[in-house]
Amino acid sequence: MPVRTHRAWLAAVGLLAVGSVSGGAQEAPNYEVYAVRYAMLPGFPLRAMVAGADSTRTIDGAMSVWLARGGGKTVLIDAGFYRPKFVDRWKPSNFVSPAEALSRAGVRPEQVTDIVVTHVHWDHVDGVDLFPNAQVWIQKTEYDHHISPNGTPRESAIDADDARMLSQLKARGRVREVNGDSVQIIPGITVYTGGKHTFGSQYAAIKTESGTVVIASDNLYLYENLDRRRPIAQTLDSLSNLRSHERMRRLASDPRLIVPGHDPAVFTRFPSGVEGIARIK
């Protein structure tokens, strides 16, 4: 069949590689972007976040998911955690499930259309199955590196329950694997690789009325990583991580629109008037 017709058929049956997604002629909407805090980790050692930090310093780490609404989409960047074993082990303060936290932003779990999983660590992926209608987007290299075909972990970076959950969602057709860097997965939302927090971690750039917002997730833990040009402490490649920070500066319309993964200052820099909600603009 003609090439154009063939590509249309492949897209219709879901066989066209996600890495080819560009949004075509569809105009990208402007999204409203929020950080939504669902817990805190009090007294977390700063040296576990900022390479070379003073070992006596601590920070109350914010546990957040990020919400983008626009163009008929309700998109989460990461999904947090909720399984009791993680709550019992880490003892976060002021914990509510990510689904409950999102209710403060007027979002019900069934309204979430898409979840962009930046990486497979428990505090970012465990809550995916709280959202029954969401399409899940993850880098193919991240999925394949951490999850075997039978749904068991290939290494300790991913929890066994979370690996099984993602494998089951993939079998139901709810997981879309992104093939590589600089891919627009949804009109107005593009994902990038290179942060190397995990093997195939990604971060997202989102079009808003204020310009491009970059949700770094754990590829950038804190504003201090960016301001002091220090890599995150937990990275597979410090130089690649620093390069990703510089790239975030170029991608964002303004450096203040770069949102780190665990910095409580996000909620003072972008007050919304609602506890635990920051409007990024």
Encode pLDDT of 43-83 as tens digits: 999 999 999 999 999 999 999 999 999 999 999 999 999 99
Q: Mean pLDDT in the chain?
A: 93
Q: What share of the chain in percent tops pLDDT 90?
A: 90
Residue 9 banded pLDDT, cuts 50, 70, 90: very low
| Domain 27-279: assigned CATH number | 3.60.15.10
3-state secondary structure 218-272: CCCCCHHHHHCCCCECCCCCHHHHHHHHHHHHHHCCCHHHEEECCCCCHHHHCEC
pLDDT at 18: 52
Query: What number is the average pLDDT over the span 210-236?
Result: 98
Classify the C-alpha dihedral 151-154-160-165 as positive or negative. Answer: negative
Query: What number is the average pLDDT over the span 79-97?
Result: 98
Q: What is the pLDDT of residues 243-273, one digit of tens each?
A: 999 999 999 999 999 999 999 999 999 999 9
Residue type, 222: L
Question: Which pTM value belongs to this model?
Answer: 0.91
Residue 13 scores a pLDDT above 70: no
Query: What number is the average pLDDT over the span 71-100?
Result: 98
Residue 187 scores a pLDDT above 50: yes
- The answer to whether 137 and 178 have CB atoms below 8 angstroms apart is yes
pLDDT at 37: 98
Residue 277 scores a pLDDT above 70: yes
pLDDT at 20: 43
Residue type, 105: A
Rounded to an integer, what distance in angstroms lies between the CA atom of residue 245 and that of residue 152? 32
Rounded to an integer, what distance in angstroms lies between the CA atom of residue 49 and that of residue 172? 36
- The answer to whether 78 and 67 have CB atoms below 8 angstroms apart is no
DSSP 130-162: G-TT-EEEEEHHHHHHHB-TTS-BSSTTS-HHH
pLDDT at 253: 98
pLDDT at 19: 56
pLDDT at 27: 85
pLDDT at 6: 40
